[in-house]
Amino acid sequence: MVGRGRKLSTRIVTGQLVILAITSAIGFVLLAYAQKAQLDRDYEQRALAIARTAAADPQIQGAMEYGGGGDIVQTLSDRIKTDSLASYVVVIDLAGVRHSHPIPELIGKPVEETPPDGRSSVRIDHGATGTSANGKAPLRGPTGALVGEVSVGIAERDVLGQLRRELSTFGLYLGSALAVGLIVSYVLARRLKRTTFGLELEEIAGLLQDREAMLHGIREGVLAFDPQGRITVVNDEARRLLGLGTALGARLDQLLPDGRLRRALDGSLTGVDLTVLTDSHCLAVNRMPVALRGRELGAVVTVRDRTELVGLLRELDSVRGLTDALRAQQHEFANRLHTLAGLLELGEHEAALEYAVELGSSEPALTESIRTLIANPLMVGLIVAKTAVAAERGVRVLLDEGSRLGEQPGHLRRLLTIVGNLLDNAVEAAGEQGVVRLSLVERPDAVTLRVADSGPGVPADARESIFEDGWSTRPERGTARRGLGLALVHRLVQRHGGTVTVSEGPGAVFTVTLPLPDDDPAPLGSVFTVVPDVLTGAGL
């Protein structure tokens, strides 16, 4: 490729020099033509002035009107021609016959042009003496009668000589302008070189191709912001995860509502792997300021979709919790077997039988007590499971006697998610020897859920932020991410027109109300678009 391998500064200087040279040459030619035309007009007027001077000479006037002047007209014409440096001064009578001419052989012969008409005129004449700037003035006798005309010409070589003298000055100006343009081009090239960090054109094009391939080939969302907060780069994955359309050149406050997501993207929230929950994804957001040589260039934000990963981690943590509960139950079951074996060995058969019957009836009694209040089997299973896990942690879960839930209540899937998350949070908040109270009431116009615990409650200054993604007062437990459970509940309730409130301590009370009828029923086995199913398996 032509020019490949040459430095950017050399290309710019060479290109500018060629452009300046071409434009200067074109300008010089146009100026020469314009100046030539102007000089022709000036010399034509000068010739006309000489002709009028000659026509005003009394001797020429008398000789032409009365005759008998002999060679006086030729003599006077030669004198005027010499004094004025004209090429010729020709006097013509009304018949078009020459009475003076620089070529003696043409005196007394008629001219080829039309006879005098009494009007002045100028033109470029291509006569016997060569090309000249010509001016003609009418000649009148002493009585005022028209007796002929005077034609004066100034040789074209005089015009061209004057043009060359003027163009040499113009050429000097153009040369100076060309030199200045060359210097400016060099300075501009150096500045562009610094602006592009010393990269050549092929390197810039290669970087652009690599950037496009990288941005649209990775499975992470990438956004870049300039120092004013405008989006300068956004890839397809970022548009998908954040729901952005044509975002280039726009600010975040023009694209996203105020919330944790926008604050994480614009840098208001600081930290590594900030967890942000959207309607469809659980995201990890990182923002890194960019500076080069002490100059602030903006920031780069990466967005990773952690929906499946967080779901797997929560499921793993749930399995670990279940394993711990089973291990505790196995230990308790072994103790019961040892007790039963001891009674049999001592011969206390009736006592052993009563002990076995008591053990066998305790669990079904709990299930039946819940069934009398909650008709839906899925909700019963969830409450029984959460009660068993809480019991292993030394926490009692009590179902309010006023609870009533039908066999097919509205918002069933959402209620399962909300109850599970709120019970898990309440069990952890209550701690050992604590108590958690659950109330579920289905009315014709709404379903009301209330979960209360005996823990310390929610700090007064945290009531506004408790439902934000990532908010938690407890450290990480196992592999599960803290601070998502309440955010899931809040989004789920608000998405379907409900309300969720929390009271101050001691002992937090969460109250959730979902309106009926359910305008968006989700059959069992379906996947919510508002909250990914993988995030609703275990509370945080």
Residue 475: asked if its preceding bond is cis (omega within 30°), the reply is no
* DSSP-assigned beta bridge partners for residue 463: none
Most confidently predicted of 23-27, 217-221, 375-379: 375-379
Least confident range from 146-150, 236-240, 442-446, 504-508: namely 504-508
CA distance 394 to 322: 15
pLDDT of residue 13: 75
- pLDDT single digits (tens) 156-192: 877 777 777 777 777 788 788 778 888 887 788 777 7
Asked whether residue 33 carries a pLDDT value surpassing 60, the answer given is: yes
pLDDT of residue 449: 92
Nearest in space to 439 (alpha carbons), one of 427, 458, 423:
423
Asked whether residue 4 carries a pLDDT value surpassing 60, the answer given is: no
Which tokens go with 452? 């209360």
Q: Are 534 and 312 in contact (CB under 8 A)?
A: yes
CA distance 281 to 530: 9
pLDDT of residue 479: 44
Asked whether residue 478 carries a pLDDT value surpassing 50, the answer given is: no
CA distance 332 to 336: 6
Looking at residue 74, what DSSP letter applies?
Answer: H
Q: Which residues contact 150 (CB under 8 A, 6 or more apart)?
A: 51, 52, 54, 55, 60, 89, 90, 91, 92, 136, 137, 139
Which tokens go with 280? 């469809």
Most confidently predicted of 69-73, 126-130, 177-181: 177-181
Share of the chain above pLDDT 70, in %: 85
505 vs 98, higher pLDDT: 98
Rg of the chain over CA atoms, in angstroms?
A: 53
Residue 191 CB burial class (10 angstroms; 0-12, 13-18, ≥19)? exposed
Asked whether residue 325 carries a pLDDT value surpassing 70, the answer given is: no
Asked whether residue 483 carries a pLDDT value surpassing 60, the answer given is: no
168 vs 290, higher pLDDT: 290
pLDDT of residue 513: 92
Share of the chain above pLDDT 90, in %: 6
| Residue 283 C-beta-side C-alpha neighbours within 13 Å | 28
CA distance 428 to 494: 25
Provide the 3-class DSSP secondary structure of residue 369. Answer: helix
pLDDT of residue 451: 92
pLDDT of residue 424: 85
Asked whether residue 282 carries a pLDDT value surpassing 70, the answer given is: yes
Question: Rounded mean pLDDT of 334-348?
Answer: 82
Helices marked H in 118-246: 156-195, 201-217, 236-242
Q: Phi then psi for 81, rounded to 5 degrees?
A: -65, -40
- pLDDT single digits (tens) 94-121: 888 888 888 888 888 888 877 788 888 8
pLDDT of residue 439: 92
pTM score over 0.85: no
* DSSP-assigned beta bridge partners for residue 140: 146
Q: Which residue has the tokens 């043409």?
A: 106
Q: Which residues contact 531 (CB under 8 A, 6 or more apart)?
A: 279, 417, 488, 491, 492
Confidence band, pLDDT 50/70/90 cuts, at residue 361: low
pLDDT of residue 150: 92
What is the full DSSP assignment across 226-271?
-TTSBEEEE-HHHHHHHT--S-TT-BGGGTS-SSHHHHHHHTSS-S
Asked whether residue 340 carries a pLDDT value surpassing 70, the answer given is: yes
Question: Rounded mean pLDDT of 376-393?
Answer: 84
Confidence band, pLDDT 50/70/90 cuts, at residue 539: very low
Least confident range from 212-216, 226-230, 332-336, 465-469: namely 465-469
Asked whether residue 521 carries a pLDDT value surpassing 80, the answer given is: no
Asked whether residue 530 carries a pLDDT value surpassing 50, the answer given is: no
Q: Are 478 and 318 in contact (CB under 8 A)?
A: no
